[in-house]
Amino acid sequence: MQPSPIIAIHIGFALSAVVLGPIALWARLGRMVHPRLHRAMGYAWVTCMVGAACSSLLIHGYTYINIAGFSPIHLLVIVTFTTLFFSFKLLAQGNIKGHRLCMQWLYIGACLVAGAFTLMPSRFMGQWLRSLF
């Protein structure tokens, strides 16, 4: 089972975001704070999230409820960009706690929850994993 190039790009961005997110989040926890690591991994994570969101706009499915190929999961693009905007706005205002919460919730919602839904048997990743086992 071979993914199309745009799906492969989307999977690459999404899996990178899943891996980089915890590094960026945990670099600011506890007594050992690593601001350079946090900033570098944070920028890399945001880049992966933007790449995954933009590439998802080019993936269309016509088997589910949709409008012109856009299904309800495409609403995550709006959520992602809105959350990133407000997160950086809060950071610029010096509201570190608000920035942290925005980023944590975006990671949980867009990476973990949405990622879990990609493992459904009717989705590409679910079919691919099922073909392996």
Give per-residue pLDDT as tens, 98-120.
999 999 999 999 999 998 988 88
Which residue in 116, 96, 111 sits closest to 46, CA to CA?
A: 111
pLDDT tens sequence across 84-99: 999 999 999 999 999 9
Number of domains in the chain: 1
Print the domain residue range for 70: 5-132
pLDDT at 131: 87
- pLDDT over 80 at 64, yes or no: no
Q: Is 63 exposed, middle or buried (0-12, 13-18, 19+ CB in 10 A)?
A: exposed
DSSP 8-state assignment for residue 72: G
Over the chain, what is the mean pLDDT? 91
Q: Based on C-alpha coordinates, what's the Rg of the chain? A: 16
